[in-house]
Amino acid sequence: MPTMNLTDRGVKALPAPSKRKDYRDKVVPGLVLRVTPNGVKTFSVWFRVGAKARRFTIGQLGVPWKRTPESEAVPLGLADARQRAREILANAGRGVDAVAERKVQRADAQKRDLLGESFEKLGRRFLEDVAPGLRPRSLEEYTRALEKDAFPVLGKIPPEEVTKGHVRGLVAEIAKRAPVQGNRTFAAIRRVFGWAVERDMLASSPCAGLKAPTAELVRERVYSNDEIRGAFGAVPGTELEHLMPLLFRTATRSEETRAARWEDIDFEERLWLIPGDATKNHESHPVPLSTGAEAIFKERREAVPADCPWVFPAAKSEQGFMPNPGWATVTSIREKSGVPDFRLHDVRRTVATRLAEAGTPVYVIEAVLGHRPPRLVRTYQKHGYVPEARAALETWGTRLARILAGKEGAGAHPLAISSRVR
């Protein structure tokens, strides 16, 4: 490697070599100019920190370069390269490794870019990143909680400046008007910060040590025969006209059913296989179709365009499958049915309870509900109880027809198996 007294004119005049060539500077020992065959000229400084030899790239000749982070960018010249080399060499003498420092700075800058300058940007990155792995209902809840409640209040605050007080105050205020929504918003904010901490974008979460603002009671609601008849009488003409009757015949979750795809339904085998990415436990769930459930799917097949992948498409095709039923729909059904607290998820609990009344074994009810068996059972027992679940749902379907025909009485049910139905 030749050593020479580099000058501005001499540096510019150096020809492109046939092979990469380095020139040492006499004025600042350690400063090296590298010239490549395509004529690119790059300044670097060679130094040692302890026993480690280092090469730090300063920049390309003539390319915009900042003397300090706050200064304006100027074309890099020999004088600037020498000054930067002197600083690096002086720091190396004190044990400061410029290469290691740059790695840290770049990592910090990358985190800063990912983090964004506001909580809203961080939240949107979170939604984009986790969307593929979330159940539709979970993504829907996180999006609604962040968009409606969190972003308007915390959105413009830098993520690292959001405090426990910010989060506590926000969710407490929401809980005053909507206790459960306060919990949902807290869960969404906590998930965003947990995601950022897990990826080393933040050192800690302001949600650590905080609790949801409201203690939620487990619902135990089970519909009586009269209430079932009232609900069925209220849904015709609404967006739940086919959805709710299908829930009564399958005991599936609303979000799983709204996201049903035709490709997952086998009419020959009379089986609907809900894929793992759509279930709560992320395991596929085979749902045997009773006569009544099969009839509803066939009716939907005739009502839905042939090229539509969804059994229950949204009103606008670009929205995918049917969203969670709107408040107006739920209110209308509550008024018309005479069931003032009507909820779709209570249908699932009602079916599970009726199956238990009929003497259906618990393990078959669990199979119908798609619950994951205990770990030991999962390890040694691989039978999925699909035939048993089919028989149980067929028997329940026959009884449901009798209830709807008025051949059974009011059938009040004060007790439920709520702790088992999720």
Taking the CA of residue 78 as centre, how many other CA atoms within 13 Å lie in the half-sphere pointing to its CB?
15
CA 404-328-333 angle, to 5 degrees, is 15
Instruction: Please state the φ and ψ torsions of residue 33, each to the nearest 5 degrees.
Output: -105, 120
In this structure, of 83-87, 92-96, 207-211, 392-396, the range with the lowest mean pLDDT score is: 92-96
Q: Name the residue among 177, 298, 285 with its Cα closest to residue 242.
A: 298
In this predicted structure, what is the pLDDT of residue 3? 84
pLDDT tens track for 118-162: 899 999 999 998 888 877 778 888 999 999 999 999 999 988 889
pLDDT above 70 covers a percentage of the chain that reads 90
Question: Cα(60)–Cα(26) distance, rounded to whole angstroms?
Answer: 19
The distance of Cα 113 from the centroid of its chain, to the nearest Å, equals 20
The residue with greater pLDDT, 291 or 201, is 291
The distance of Cα 296 from the centroid of its chain, to the nearest Å, equals 32
pLDDT tens track for 57-99: 999 999 988 777 677 888 999 999 999 999 888 888 888 887 7
CA distances from 62 to 19, 102, 270, 307, 374 (A): 21, 21, 72, 58, 67
**pLDDT at position 414 over 50:** no
In this predicted structure, what is the pLDDT of residue 109? 57
With tokens 């580099």, the residue in question is 6
The residue with greater pLDDT, 369 or 134, is 369
**pTM given for the model:** 0.59
Average pLDDT over residues 389-397: 96
Question: Cα(206)–Cα(191) distance, rounded to whole angstroms?
Answer: 11
CA distances from 215 to 59, 124, 180 (A): 59, 28, 9
> Which distant-in-sequence residues (6+ apart) come within 8 Å of 155 by Cβ?
118, 119, 120, 123
The residue with greater pLDDT, 72 or 413, is 72
In this predicted structure, what is the pLDDT of residue 375? 66
- Are 274 and 256 in contact, with CB atoms under 8 Å apart? yes
In this structure, of 99-108, 154-163, 317-326, the range with the lowest mean pLDDT score is: 99-108
- Whole-number average pLDDT of the chain: 87
- Are 166 and 157 in contact, with CB atoms under 8 Å apart? yes
Domains recognised in the chain with CATH numbers: 3-111 (3.30.160.390), 119-198 (1.10.150), 225-420 (1.10.443.10)
In this predicted structure, what is the pLDDT of residue 82? 94
Which tokens go with 183?
């919990």
In this structure, of 252-256, 346-350, 416-420, the range with the lowest mean pLDDT score is: 416-420
Which tokens go with 196?
């950022």
Q: Name the residue among 121, 202, 108 with its Cα closest to residue 156.
A: 121
**pLDDT at position 266 over 60:** yes
Q: How confident is the model at residue 422 (pLDDT cuts 50, 70, 90)?
A: low
Strands 271-274, 3-4: pairing is unpaired
